Amino acid sequence: MQQYRLPQIDVPKLDLPPVIRRVMEETEVRLNHRPKLQKLFHNCFPNTLETTTKLLDDGTTFVLTGDIPAMWLRDSVEQVVQYVPFAKEDKELQRIIGGLVKRLMMYIGIDPYANAFNETANHWHWDANDETDMSPWVWERKFELDSLCFPIRLAYLYWKETGRSDIFDNGFKVAMRKIVDLWKTEQRHFEQSPYRFIRHNCPDIDTLSNGGLGMPVNYTGMIWSGFRPSDDACDFHYNIPSNMFAVVSLRQMGEIARYVFRDLAFVEEMAALEKDIQHGIELYGIYNHPKYGKMYAFETDGYGNHCLMDDAGTPNLMSIPYIGYAEVNDEIYQNTRRFILSKDNPYYFEGKAAKGIGSPHTPPDYVWHMAFAMQGLTATRDEELMEMLDVLEATDADSGYMHEGFHADDPSVFTRSWFAWSNSIFSQLVLRALDRGLLNC
Which is more confident, 168 or 68? 168
Alpha-carbon distance 40 to 118, whole Å?
30
Nearest to 119 by CA among 77, 81, 69: 69
Nearest to 303 by CA among 225, 216, 385: 216
Single-letter code of the amino acid located at 160: K
Total Cβ atoms within 10 A of residue 51 = 15
Q: What percent of the chain has pLDDT over 70?
A: 98
Q: Where are the alpha helices (DSSP H) in 166-263?
A: 170-186, 189-192, 209-212, 240-259
pLDDT digits (tens, 9 = 90+) for 223-240: 999 999 999 999 999 999
| Entry field: residues in the chain | 441
Q: Specify whether the CB–CB gap between 11 and 394 falls below 8 A.
A: no
**Planar angle of CA 354, 356, 359, nearest 5 degrees:** 120
pLDDT digits (tens, 9 = 90+) for 375-389: 999 999 999 999 999
- Main-chain phi, psi angles of 205, to 5 degrees: -70, -5
Q: What is the residue-wise DSSP string for 366-412?
A: EEEHHHHHHHHHT-SSHHHHHHHHHHHHHTSTTSSS--SEEETTEEE
The predicted structure's pLDDT at residue 4: 46
Total Cβ atoms within 10 A of residue 6 = 10
Q: Averaged over 305-321, what is the pLDDT?
A: 98
Q: Specify whether the CB–CB gap between 405 and 312 falls below 8 A.
A: yes
What are the domain boundaries of the chain?
Answer: 53-347
Alpha-carbon distance 324 to 245, whole Å?
8
pLDDT digits (tens, 9 = 90+) for 387-435: 999 999 999 999 999 999 999 999 999 999 999 999 999 999 999 999 9
- Tell whether the model's pLDDT for residue 150 goes beyond 80: yes
Alpha-carbon distance 40 to 439, whole Å?
14
Q: Averaged over 337-355, what is the pLDDT?
A: 98
pLDDT digits (tens, 9 = 90+) for 29-47: 999 999 999 999 999 999 9
Alpha-carbon distance 90 to 70, whole Å?
27
pLDDT digits (tens, 9 = 90+) for 426-436: 999 999 999 99
Q: 53-347: which CATH topology?
A: Glycosyltransferase (1.50.10)
* Average pLDDT score, the chain: 96
Single-letter code of the amino acid located at 401: Y
Q: Which residues contact 48 (CB under 8 A, 6 or more apart)?
A: 63, 79, 80, 83, 420, 423, 424
Alpha-carbon distance 92 to 20, whole Å?
10
Q: Specify whether the CB–CB gap between 147 and 115 falls below 8 A.
A: yes
